[in-house]
Amino acid sequence: MDRFGLVEDNQYLVVEIPAYESFIPFKVKYRVNRGYERIDYGPIPTTSGTSYPTLDGGTATVPEDGVMPAMAYMPTSDPIVFPASGVGLTYGVSDTDDMFYISEKDFDNRVIHLHASFSPSWLRIVVDMPRSTLQGMYQKATLDINMGMGFRRGGIETVILPAVKIGWRFANDTNMDVYTVARFVYGEYVVDIVNDAEMVFNLGVGKVKAKRVVLPVNVPSYDFEDALRKTWGFTGFKMYAEHEKSIAISEYNEVISELRR
């Protein structure tokens, strides 16, 4: 790991997917944006006049672009994304409306490792992956940003995979309207999926050093599964315990033989 918390070239990144009890081990070939890892994006893209429900059962209207109203929260049906125009990009990206979306048709060998931080640092944050899909869980209960648990504050680390559309949601649980700021540190990695079964197993059980990121995907969904299957042909390698090595190696060899690479 470097000073940004990003993976160095020729090192490993393991992405865990709880909903499928699986993981995808990547070897980072190189970082496309080396030397340009910081994005001072500016205000969160709320729009003046937009109405949001409030935590106390009412509604609140955004008074000015970039402001999060007092007690307001973004429901699952109304997430935001970060337009590329916010940093002056108008072409050359997969989706100008969502600067972090990666098209599998153009970049099936790329992922984005993202550290996002927001001000005020006490804003509640949820990343819906895929977009508009509740992913917070406690036992059998589904959690949402308007509850007393199931969210983060201040920032989040995640990995964005090709063809997966994500949504960002925020909540302001204070009694004052607040101006917002979004900042990102990111690595746009060119990657290979590890294709040696022994190495896959060792990465899965933690015997080989790797950066591990757990995706906020706790509930299976068609959109997420479809995105991974049309990109690589699978939803990850099944997680096994260390004593299950022979079963794992046999299965991993079969999966590797069918991967789209």
Average pLDDT on 210-219 reads 97
The alpha carbon of 47 is separated from its chain's Cα centroid by a whole number of angstroms, namely 23
Question: Would 199 be classed as within a structural domain?
Answer: yes
The count of domains in the chain is: 1
Residue 149 has pLDDT above 70, yes or no: yes
Give the separation between CA 48 and CA 73, rounded to whole angstroms.
15
Q: CB within 8 A of 2, min separation 6: which ones?
A: 8
Average pLDDT on 106-132 reads 96
User: What are φ and ψ of residue 233, in 5° steps?
Assistant: 90, 10
Structure tokens at 78: 């109304």
244-254 pLDDT tens trace:
999 999 999 99
Residue 1 has pLDDT above 90, yes or no: no
User: For all residues of the chain together, what is the average pLDDT?
Assistant: 96
Give the separation between CA 74 and CA 47, rounded to whole angstroms.
12
Q: Determine the 3-state secondary structure of 1 from DSSP.
A: coil
Question: Would 4 be classed as within a structural domain?
Answer: no
User: Helices 197-204 & 245-258, crossing angle to 10 degrees?
Assistant: 120
Residue 182 has pLDDT above 80, yes or no: yes
Enumerate the H helices of 69-218 as residue ranges: 197-204
Nearest 5 degrees, angle CA 78-CA 83-CA 87?
A: 145
pTM above 0.85, yes or no: yes
Residue 51 has pLDDT above 90, yes or no: yes
Q: Please report which confidence band the pLDDT of residue 221 belongs to, taking 50, 70 and 90 as the band edges.
A: very high
Q: Determine the 3-state secondary structure of 54 from DSSP.
A: strand
Tokens 């509740």 locate to: 134
Question: Would 6 be classed as within a structural domain?
Answer: no
Beta bridge partners of 27: 12, 192
Q: Is the peptide bond before 130 cis (omega within 30 degrees of 0)?
A: yes
Residue 162 has pLDDT above 70, yes or no: yes
User: What are φ and ψ of residue 167, in 5° steps?
Assistant: -130, 145
Question: Would 7 be classed as within a structural domain?
Answer: no
Question: Would 25 be classed as within a structural domain?
Answer: yes
pLDDT at 106 (0 to 100): 87
pLDDT at 260 (0 to 100): 76
Range of the domain at 33: 12-258
17-42 pLDDT tens trace:
999 999 999 999 999 999 999 999 99
200-212 pLDDT tens trace:
999 999 999 999 9
State the Rg of the chain over Cα.
19
The alpha carbon of 91 is separated from its chain's Cα centroid by a whole number of angstroms, namely 23
Q: Please report which confidence band the pLDDT of residue 261 belongs to, taking 50, 70 and 90 as the band edges.
A: low
Q: CB within 8 A of 45, min separation 6: which ones?
A: 65, 66, 80, 81, 82, 83, 86
Question: Would 55 be classed as within a structural domain?
Answer: yes
**Letter string b/e over residues 20-40, b meaning 16 or more CB atoms within 10 A of that residue's CB:** bebbbbbbbeebeeeeebebe
Q: CB within 8 A of 246, min separation 6: which ones?
A: none
Question: Would 140 be classed as within a structural domain?
Answer: yes
Beta bridge partners of 187: 113
Q: CB within 8 A of 122, min separation 6: which ones?
A: 153, 154, 173, 174
pLDDT at 60 (0 to 100): 98
Question: Would 195 be classed as within a structural domain?
Answer: yes
